[in-house]
Amino acid sequence: MNPRQVAEYMFDQDYFSQWMNIKMIEIKENYCLLEMPIKKEMLNGLKTVHGGVTFAFADSALAFSSNNSGDAAVALNCIINFTKAGKEGDIFKAESILVNDTRKTAVYDIKITNQNEELIAKFVGTVYKIGKKVTDL
């Protein structure tokens, strides 16, 4: 399978990413660009996007970029910095780029922006390569 096919295979089983209405815009090996509309159910008590939603969106980008080679990887450590509050009606984009790759781990930079290309959050995720194929799990 090519990287897009692997990502689509994963997405078909990822009901949370489906609930978030994530769309895969671009998928290349160790890279992805995703889009997600912000709906009312994603807001917190201050009427801004719940931090857990932003984190989950970045985590999905990490998953689709770090597994799309077909070799399974799981999150080992993730750090997020929130830079701007999102609101209902926004369209978030997440771009995940591989920055370091070793035999057992890899590090990805993920940038979340809104429809105006304003930075919403910066996420760095480290994954552990578990030595299995995505399709065997």
d(CA 35, CA 47): 21
User: Tell me, what's the pLDDT at 11?
Assistant: 98
d(CA 137, CA 135): 6
**For the chain, what is the domain count?**
1
As given in the structure block, the two tokens for residue 15 are 């009901």
User: Tell me, what's the pLDDT at 1?
Assistant: 95
Amino acid at 38: I
User: Tell me, what's the pLDDT at 19?
Assistant: 97
d(CA 104, CA 82): 29
pTM: 0.97
Q: What are phi and psi of 32, to 5 degrees?
A: -155, 155
User: Tell me, what's the pLDDT at 65?
Assistant: 98
The string of pLDDT tens digits covering residues 10-28 is: 999 999 999 999 999 999 9
Q: What is the CATH number of the domain that holds 70?
A: 3.10.129.10
The string of pLDDT tens digits covering residues 16-72 is: 999 999 999 999 999 999 999 999 999 999 999 999 999 999 999 999 999 999 999
Q: Which domain holds residue 74?
A: 3-136
The string of pLDDT tens digits covering residues 80-119 is: 999 999 999 999 999 999 999 999 999 999 999 999 999 9
The residues that bridge with 78 in the sheet, in sequence order, are 125
As given in the structure block, the two tokens for residue 40 are 């009312």
